[in-house]
Amino acid sequence: MAETLGMLCDKLSIVKLKQFHTGDNEKLQSLNKQASMLQQEIDEYFANAVSGIIPIDRLTFDANKVFKKEGNEVANVSGHIGEVIYQLANVNCELWHEQEKVYEFEKVAAEEKDKVVKQLALLNLERNKCIDSINRQFADLISELHNK
């Protein structure tokens, strides 16, 4: 599967979360390298999209999640691309903390387990909406640029 700007932003925000949460110098060096490589990949992606090397129809790759919408309301994703990237980073932070609960699921009270699983599902849906929004907005910007 081809990478998109939204996917690259998602990966970078996760690497940044890992950097924040580790105290291990060896892991931190590896994460710093990953972050640098992702930042370079994002720069190249921008340049290739602007120059037309990446066709506009390849700038989006919607998640097309299929799920029951009733009872699974997801936060609205809106705003300019920078605002959506911020929302994506925030959602990934929330996902990080929910996922931490799963690593020690036996310690989660029985009456809370369903809530944790549901929250993980909803946050993942919101994450995908953010990625899709970033991709669509970027494709629209590139399309406008090419039509000038």
Q: pLDDT tens digit string along 3-46?
A: 899 999 999 999 999 999 999 999 999 999 999 999 999 999 99
DSSP 104: T
Say what the pLDDT of residue 21 is: 94
Q: Give the total number of structural domains in the chain.
A: 1
| Residue 23 domain boundaries | 5-146
User: pLDDT category, 51, cuts 50, 70, 90?
Assistant: very high
User: pLDDT category, 148, cuts 50, 70, 90?
Assistant: confident
- In this predicted structure, the answer to whether residue 66 has a pLDDT above a threshold of 70 is no
Residue 140 in tokens: 């629209």
Say what the pLDDT of residue 76 is: 85
Q: Cα dihedral angle (125, 140, 54, 129), rounded to 10 degrees?
A: 0
**% residues pLDDT > 70 (the chain):** 94
Exposed e or buried b per residue across 42-62, where buried means at least 16 C-beta atoms within 10 angstroms of its C-beta: beebeeebeeeebeeeebbbe
- In this predicted structure, the answer to whether residue 91 has a pLDDT above a threshold of 90 is yes
pTM recorded for the entire structure:
0.89
Residue 78 in tokens: 């809106």
Cα–Cα–Cα angle for 36, 41, 44, rounded to 5 degrees? 130
How many angstroms separate the CA atoms of 138 and 110, rounded? Answer: 43
Amino acid, single-letter form, for residue 120: L
User: pLDDT category, 63, cuts 50, 70, 90?
Assistant: low
